[in-house]
Amino acid sequence: MRTYIVGNWKLNFTVGEASIYLHKIIKKMSNYRDIEVVVAPSTIALQPLSLQVDRHKIKLAAQNAFYRDYGAFTGETSFSQLRGIADYCIIGHSERRYIFGETDKTIQKKVAAAIRNKITPILCIGETESERAFGETKDVIKDQLVGGLSEVGDDDIDKVIIAYEPVWAISSTKASKLASPDEIADAVALIREILTDIYGKKVAEATPVLFGGSVSPSNAGAYLTVPGVNGLLIGGSSLILSEFTDIIDIAKRVHS
């Protein structure tokens, strides 16, 4: 199965800075046969970056989009407007859920809209620290996964990527706050178990599952060797050229 390395730039870089940074990444990269490298700049940078990107080396993702294709929705960008610009879209990220109040119902509509517009959704799921402390991890993962996929039928599930991002492990530099390989393995096994119940074992095994949560060059190798993990969703380290390209090289070595 292909390995995915996805860099989420969040609210960083001007359009000019994003263009220069993308150029540096492309210049430093080689073509990797079984590794899909994806970066997610801010929405305003997507269109100009789509004109300079070498899609043989790297693909673009949107960080967000609206589920309606057109209409009176001031300030929004639709998936239909992103067709031909973005290949992927991050949907259901914890910052969208907990800062902007996106619900499972909103997220399921976005997943469906992405598929409808031939953009691959990267559906993010994961529990908060308090949910984990109260033993609610399994329920949260199940609710978010089932909710996000509720409009995805058997014919379209192969167009979806799942990303497990425990909220308590995001943007952490403390070893005690990082997710352990065993914790990740348990969550990924649960995700595939739920997918099996809905779509069958064959689909569950074929669905890419990524991990995200304070990924860096120092832990990327360990995370990529966790059973069932098919790639990484990277935040802070994706903003640092040496770290991001190091992680890509690690992925190449791990899965070569």
Provide the annotated active-site residues: 93, 165
Question: Cα separation of 154 and 15, whole Å?
Answer: 39
Question: Cα separation of 52 and 125, whole Å?
Answer: 32
Question: Cα separation of 65 and 4, whole Å?
Answer: 21
Which of 167, 175, 99, 165 is closest to 133 using CA atoms?
Answer: 167
As given in the structure block, the two tokens for residue 81 are 């407007």
Contact 42, 9 (CB under 8 A): yes
Which of 59-87 are b and which e, b meaning 16 or more Cβ less than 10 Å from the residue's Cβ? bbbbbbbbbeeeeeeeeebbbbbbeebbb
Beta bridge partners of 90: 122
